[in-house]
Structures are given as C-alpha cells and as structure tokens.
Amino acid sequence: MHNWTRIFIILLGTWLLLSTLALTLFTFGNPIARAASGMVWGVIIFWIVICGSLMYRFREPIQNLVWKIRLNWQIKFMLFVTLLALLEEVVTTTMTNLAPLFGVKIGEAYITASTNFFDVVFFHSVIHFIGPFIFWTLALKRYGFSPFAIFLIFGISGVFAEVLFGGLQHFMEFGFWIFVYGLMIFLPAYTLPSAAERGARQPKFYHYALMIFLPALFVPLFAWIPQVVDPNHPQPTHFLPLQPLK
C-alpha cells in the first residue's frame, strides 16, 4: 500500500470513529437511537475492523487461491463480490436480531429491513447490487482501475445510495458507508488479473467520476424480480419507522 493510500485510510477510519462516537453520545439519552448506534458499532467491529483487516492481511494468499480456480476471471469476480455482499448482510442482519442485547425489542431499533437474512438480501439489498456488479465486471475488462480506486469509487457510490434512500444526513456518515460498500469489492478487485492480461487500459480522470454513478443504471436489471415475486412485499422495511430523536 502506498504511503498516501495508507494515510487516506487512516484519516477515513479516524473520521468514521469520531463521527460515530459523536452520534452515539448525541443520541445516548434515546434508548432506540442508542440501540441503533450499538448495532452500527457492531458492524464497525465485525465487518470493517475484523473482516476488513483479514481481507487486507490475507489478500496475497487469497489472490493466489482465486487465480488457481479454473473459471473466467469475470465469473470469479462476480461470484466473489456477491459472496462478500452476502457476508456483509450476515453481519448487519445479525445486529438487527441482537436488538434485545442493546436494550430494546426486535423491530424497535434496526439497521436492516427485516430480521430474516434471505428476506433482506432478496427483497431489499443484495438483489439491487447485482446489476452494478455486472457493470463493474464489464468496465474492468476495458479499464484498469486499481483495487484501492475500486474500493473508494464503490464506497462513494454507496454513500450516494444511502443518501438517496435515507436522507442527506448520511453524507456525514461517509466514512462508515465507504468502508461498508468498499470492502465488498476491494478483495475481488485485488484478485483480478493484471490490466495488461485483461486487455484493459488506463482510465481517464473522468472515468473515475462516471464510475460513481453509471453502475446505478444497471440496478433495474434485477431489482424488478422481487416485485414480480411478491408485489405486496413490505417496502422499505418490515418495521415501524424509527422514532425521531427527542
């Protein structure tokens, strides 16, 4: 990792911790918000710190293992990034199910749309990621983005997705969302063949900005499926809206 990349990750992590701590202290008097903050800390510990550290520590052995799998690199990338998206939702859904541990009833505080993992990934989350993952797979055949650039770009896309879904306040949580989304794709990107082997060329400066938003155009490729399977499925969540802060 280059020094400037390391410095950026440290600064991003510092903002993540400070902003989450500030939110936790600000909402500590509200048991519902306090429980939701506890769930966020759970995601930080288990997904960002533990899983993220393991991904970085073992990136070389995992890369060698993936290279030995006799499949087209695009298929391997799609399967790997989808697997990590599912793993991230295991962590978040577990946090929602641990509501009693945080002092509230299940459904009073939550960070996923349901307590059911399969419901969450098929109706609310990962099903919407498949289209953007396909877009990235196609783009990486043409352009040689670095693993860190892919981590950052997809993380920023996640920030905008959360703002669109939940409101402008999510801009202040950019550290959290960049790590949450970026870690889904960093390790699969690291295991790709080199740009030369893929026949990819160096992207222009504007390609980096376009890759933040263009994958969203592919969301409808699979997002329609849940609506056909169950048109009356609860949206956006199975729970009552969270109580406003007092």
pLDDT tens for the chain, 246 residues: list them. 678 899 999 999 999 999 999 999 998 999 999 999 999 999 999 999 999 999 999 999 999 999 999 999 999 999 999 999 999 999 999 999 999 999 999 999 999 999 999 999 999 999 999 999 999 999 999 999 999 999 999 999 999 999 998 899 899 999 999 999 999 999 999 999 999 999 999 999 999 999 999 999 999 999 999 999 999 999 899 998 876 544
Q: How far apart are CA 71 and CA 232, in angstroms?
A: 39
Q: How far apart are CA 103 and CA 192, in angstroms?
A: 44
E strands within 51-159?
A: none
Q: How far apart are CA 194 and CA 164, in angstroms?
A: 34
**Is-above-0.85 flag for pTM?**
yes
Nearest to 216 by CA among 136, 98, 146: 136
CB-neighbour burial class of residue 27 (10 A; exposed 0-12, middle 13-18, buried 19+): middle
- For 136, list phi and psi in degrees, rounded to 5: -60, -40
Helix H or strand E segment including 170:
none
Nearest to 181 by CA among 107, 144, 128: 128
Q: What was the pLDDT predicted at 50?
A: 98
- Let me know: does 175 contact 13? Beta carbons within 8 Å: yes
- Let me know: does 99 contact 107? Beta carbons within 8 Å: yes
Q: How far apart are CA 106 and CA 54, in angstroms?
A: 30
Domain ranges of the chain: 3-229
Q: How far apart are CA 136 and CA 140, in angstroms?
A: 6
